[in-house]
Every structure is written in C-alpha cells, then in structure tokens.
Amino acid sequence: MTTGRLRVRGLLAGIGVAALCLAAVPGGVVAAPVVGGHATGTIGSGASARTFELYRPAGLSRPAPLVVVLHGGYGSGKQAERSYHWDAQADRGRFVAVFPNGVGRSWNAGTCCGPAQQRTVDDVGFIRAVVDKVAAQMPIDRSRVYITGMSNGAMMAYRLACQTDLFAAAAPVAGTILTDCSRAHPISVLHIHGTNDQSVPYGGGPGRYYSVNGNARVDGPSVPEVNATFRRIDSCAPPVVRRTDPVTTSVARCPGSRTVELITVAGAGHQWPGSSRSPLMDLVRPGNEPSTAFDATSVIWDFFTAHHR
C-alpha cells in the first residue's frame, strides 16, 4: 500500500473517532448572542445528541432568512462554513446560516452514504429539528428558509426537497437524487455541477469514490434528468439556455414565481465553484480544485433571495 493511501486511511480513522465524540455532546443549545457571532448547538442529549454550527450577523432584529448548509461526505459543519464562505455572505445578505453535522461525517440521502445510511439515521427529522430549534431561539422568517449542500450534502438536500415542504428553495451542488421523489411539493431548485465530476457523474450512473466493497453507493440519474424531474414537479415552461464558456445556464420559469435552474461548468470536477481548497478533500479526492468561473455561494444566495414560500 502506498504512503498516500495510508495517510488517507489514517485520516478516515480519525474522522470516525471525531464523529463519535460529536455524538457524545450533552443536550441543550447555545444560541448566538443578540450582537451576532458563532454558536454551537445540540439536538437531543447523551449518546443520541446531534450537533450543528450557527452564524448570526451582528445587529439582526427583524425575522431573518435562514440558510441550511449541508457538508459533503468526510466534511463537517465547520468545514462547510469555512470552505464555502457562508459567514461573509450572511453578513452581506443579513441572514442566519446553520451548518449541521452528519453522523460519521455523512448523510442518509437514500441509497447513500456512509455510516448515516448504513444505520438508517433519520436525517430528515434531524434537519427539521435544527430548523425548529433555531427558529425558537431567534427571529426567523419561516417563508424564507433555504437548503443547500455539497456532494452527499447535495443528495440530502434533494431528499429534503423531495420529502418535506420546509424550504422555499434548494440549491444542491455536485449531487443527485437517490431517494423517492414521487410526492414532492413544487419548489424552486438551482443545481450546480461540473461535467468532469467522477464522484457524482454528470451523465449519471456509478460514482468512482462513493462505493463500499465495490458496490456503488451513488448510482443515480443524470444531472439533466434530475433537472427535468423538478421541471415536471413545478409544471415549468421549457428552459431558456445561455452559454458563456465554461458556464452554461438553463432557466425554466414555473407557476408561483418558481424557477428550476441548472448551472453546468465545463471541465470542472467534484467541487464547489469559488470555494477554498480543503487539505482533507485534496487527499481523499485529488484533482478537484475549485473552479474560479464564478462564486457559487454568491450565486446561490442571489437565487434564494428571489424565492419566498
């Protein structure tokens, strides 16, 4: 075995220990102070406790939008907060951002992924509880609650979009649908994806890295099929496509002022455009340097601001 593989295995072993430590945090939630700032909260208590990170800009007094950001596989709430620059965007947009932590750094998005899926963790219930807990602690505009996520977090965002009516809009990045979506409510969706993604292939089918004993845990529909699914759910008009290399944007307008949009980045891999590089992700999935074609966080927030429940 190569030294690089040993380093990755060592890191992943450490991740498992860290996840168990997170699960042991006692109950109660620490709310962000009125003046704003960071906080760490918990849902439940004892061995079943779940945790989340929260950022509240200083000076918020009126009910504010809430953006739920779901980390990717092997990631964490703090990593997503740091890598995707949501705190700075929250300061500019005057909203609250919350970064839940998955079980074993994973989400049960249906047929994927990791410990969360293997243990059939109720992550839909957990995210509901996080939204309710934050809204009980500070003024949140429940008509402007949004969900986004990267990779396994994007798959979980799709599960929430398919199986709840919590959110005014969803913005999955580098994900696909791996759960039943036959009873979904109409919702505005923005999907961002690179054409050279090997973990969640743009054209659908098995992903290279999400596998256990050779069995693919990501084996879903193509990105265009996922986009078409929500155009049907939302009864949208045909999409209008605009191309400015390397970015292609498709926008379909739908009843109720909803839209279903797709941003494709030619040649980009499994990454969040405009994000900071993560040393761990560079080791686990090398060759996925973030595209500099645009800032996905800023684009997603602009999309969210156009949609209320």
Q: Where are the domains of the chain?
A: 22-202+219-305
Measured in whole angstroms, the distance separating CA 105 from the mean position of its chain's CA atoms is: 13
Spatial contact of 42 and 17, defined as CB atoms under 8 Å apart:
no
Question: Using 50, 70 and 90 to split pLDDT, how confident is the model at 14?
Answer: very low
What gap in Å lies between CA 289 and CA 278, rounded to an integer? 9
Hey, what amino acid is at 49? A
What was the pLDDT predicted at 264? Answer: 98
Neighbours of 132 (CB within 10 A): 14
Residues 218-277 pLDDT 10s: 889 999 999 999 999 999 999 999 999 999 999 999 999 999 999 999 999 999 999 986
Spatial contact of 191 and 223, defined as CB atoms under 8 Å apart:
yes
What was the pLDDT predicted at 4? Answer: 41
Alpha-helical runs (H) found in the chain: 3-23, 77-83, 86-93, 114-118, 123-137, 152-163, 223-233, 279-284, 296-305
Could you tell me the two tokens for 88?
């700075």
Virtual CA dihedral for 160, 161, 163, 167, nearest 10 degrees? 80
Pick the CATH number of 22-202+219-305 from 3.40.50.1820, 3.40.50.620, 3.50.50.60, 2.70.98.70: 3.40.50.1820
Q: Are strands 240-244 and 247-254 parallel, antiparallel or unpaired?
A: antiparallel
Alpha-helical runs (H) found in 26-108: 77-83, 86-93
Question: Using 50, 70 and 90 to split pLDDT, how confident is the model at 286?
Answer: low
What gap in Å lies between CA 155 and CA 170, rounded to an integer? 11
Residues 75-104 pLDDT 10s: 999 999 999 999 999 999 999 999 999 999
Alpha-helical runs (H) found in 147-278: 152-163, 223-233
What was the pLDDT predicted at 209? Answer: 64
| Residue 64: CA count within 13 A, CB half-sphere | 26
Residue 278 has pLDDT above 80, yes or no: no
For 47, the 3-state DSSP assignment is helix
Could you tell me the two tokens for 109?
């998005």
Residue 17 has pLDDT above 70, yes or no: no
What was the pLDDT predicted at 210? Answer: 58
Measured in whole angstroms, the distance separating CA 79 from the mean position of its chain's CA atoms is: 12
pTM metric for this prediction = 0.86
Residue 32 has pLDDT above 50, yes or no: no
